[in-house]
């Protein structure tokens, strides 16, 4: 089995805590102070929350 690493959401800064939920990948970006979700292929990127204290993971 081979695995390929592929960027699905370009232009991010410091991503943490990827989680699958309801068919979407959710992750936080520490430096942009936001929590995002996106479709599996990176389409339909959404800002789900803004966290001024710099979010660290989604635990």
pLDDT digits (tens, 9 = 90+) for 12-59: 888 888 999 999 999 999 888 999 999 988 889 999 999 988 788 776
CA distance 3 to 54: 31
Q: Is the pLDDT of residue 8 over 70?
A: yes
Q: Are 26 and 16 in contact (CB under 8 A)?
A: no
Cα 12 to chain centroid distance, Å, stands at 9
Q: pLDDT band at 2, cuts 50/70/90?
A: confident
Question: Please, are residues 43 and 23 in contact by the beta-carbon 8 Å criterion?
Answer: no
pLDDT at res. 21: 92
Sign, Cα dihedral of 1, 38, 26, 54? positive
Integer Cα distance of 9 and 45 in angstroms: 8
For residue 38, the model assigns a pLDDT of 94
């Amino acid at each position: 089995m081979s695995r390929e690493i592929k960027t699905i959401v370009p232009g991010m800064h410091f991503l943490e805590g990827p989680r699958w939920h309801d068919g979407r990948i959710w992750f936080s970006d520490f430096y942009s102070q936001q929590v995002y979700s996106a479709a599996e292929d990176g389409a339909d990127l959404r800002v789900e929350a803004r966290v001024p204290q710099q979010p660290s993971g989604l635990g």
